């Protein structure tokens, strides 16, 4: 199933070039008041709601996909976890390019572990990226995004797949510079996730997915998740060894070689096998 959030927080099922509006199913979620629990209640309930979503999709009104505004399919992650330099050839390019490494030693992911992006940075593809610090290099990083489906605390690598609700395309937008990653990568709109969530039953082998991005039609990055340094299971194990992952938490699995700058007016087109493609406009904040 391909699940999207669109327009004014409507819930949709994507079928070919159309979106079925299944928003009435959201009424089944428990009504909540302050203080709201952490995590995303829709993703937490997804297994239970799935029969109702599928039934609603059969009779729901259709909208052409091209006419809807696509938001992040996850509304309320408690954490956005990200893997730095998790492709060997990106590590090599980062070490070779002073505009990426900024006189800091680029250590291997085995030493530095993971980092967090602010959840307030999260947007969907139709919202676009609003660049700040235009005097500095602002880069695209295309990545496979995992969406956690159930509470995961100290999960062994071999069990990782049971905790994943699905997959999406992630853009880990980045200001290059000397500051901590979490600062430079947490600017509003610097985490694009979309175009929808593909549930894990639809991706036969997430360890063999081609991912790519082009800017203004020019190919920039193209790689396959088989070349990840730390694989998907190891990433879930590592993240959940430090903090409990909650439903809706997002793991950005790392970007391959070919990162490069974007400027206001650019258009990014990112794609991953079995998920789809998304178009993201870049503007000045």
Site residues (vs Mn ion, CB under 5 A)? 141, 172, 255
Residue with smaller CB distance to Mn ion, 65 or 80: 80
Q: Closest distance between Mn ion and the C-beta of residue 35, in Å?
A: 32
Alpha-helix residue ranges (DSSP H) falling in the chain? 41-44, 46-59, 88-96, 98-101, 109-112, 181-184, 232-242
Residue with smaller CB distance to Mn ion, 172 or 249: 172
Q: Closest distance between Mn ion and the C-beta of residue 143, in Å?
A: 6
177: Cβ–Cβ under 8 A, 6 or more apart, which residues? Answer: 102, 133, 136, 184
Residue with smaller CB distance to Mn ion, 5 or 185: 185
Q: Closest distance between Mn ion and the C-beta of residue 269, in Å?
A: 18
CA dist 172 → 53, 75, 184 (Å): 30, 17, 10
Q: Look at the chain and count its residues.
A: 285
CA-nearest of 133, 6, 130 to 60 is: 6
Residue with smaller CB distance to Mn ion, 93 or 172: 172
Q: Closest distance between Mn ion and the C-beta of residue 142, in Å?
A: 9
CA dist 99 → 176, 178, 189, 202 (Å): 7, 10, 22, 39
Q: Closest distance between Mn ion and the C-beta of residue 123, in Å?
A: 16
Residue number, nearest CB to Mn ion = 172
CA-nearest of 170, 183, 162, 196 to 250 is: 170
Residue with smaller CB distance to Mn ion, 141 or 237: 141
């Amino acid at each position: 199933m391909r699940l999207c959030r669109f327009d004014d927080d409507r819930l949709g099922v994507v079928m070919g070039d159309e979106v079925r509006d299944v928003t009435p199913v959201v009424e089944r979620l428990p009504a909540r008041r302050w203080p709201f629990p952490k995590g995303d209640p829709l993703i937490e309930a997804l297994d239970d709601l799935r029969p109702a979503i599928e039934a609603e999709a059969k009779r729901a009104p259709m909208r052409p996909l091209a006419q809807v505004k696509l938001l992040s399919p996850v509304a309320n992650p408690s954490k956005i976890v990200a893997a730095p330099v998790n492709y060997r050839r990106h590590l090599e390019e980062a070490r070779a390019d002073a505009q990426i490494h900024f006189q800091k030693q680029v250590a291997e992911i085995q030493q530095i572990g993971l980092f967090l992006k602010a959840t307030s940075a999260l947007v969907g593809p139709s919202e676009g990226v609003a660049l700040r610090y235009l005097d500095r290099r602002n880069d695209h990083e295309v990545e496979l995004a995992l969406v956690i489906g159930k509470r995961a605390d100290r999960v062994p690598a071999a069990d990782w797949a049971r905790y994943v609700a699905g997959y999406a395309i992630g853009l880990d937008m980045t200001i290059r510079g000397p500051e901590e990653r979490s600062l430079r990568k947490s600017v509003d709109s610097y985490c694009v996730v979309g175009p929808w969530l593909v549930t894990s039953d639809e991706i036969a082998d997430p360890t063999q997915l081609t991912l790519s991005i082009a800017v203004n039609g020019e190919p920039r990055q193209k790689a396959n998740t088989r070349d990840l340094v730390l694989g998907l299971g190891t990433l879930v194990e590592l993240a959940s060894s430090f903090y409990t992952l909650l439903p809706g938490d997002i793991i950005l699995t790392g970007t391959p070689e070919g990162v490069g700058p974007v400027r206001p007016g650019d258009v990014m087109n990112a794609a991953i096998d079995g998920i789809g493609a998304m178009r993201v406009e870049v503007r000045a904040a």
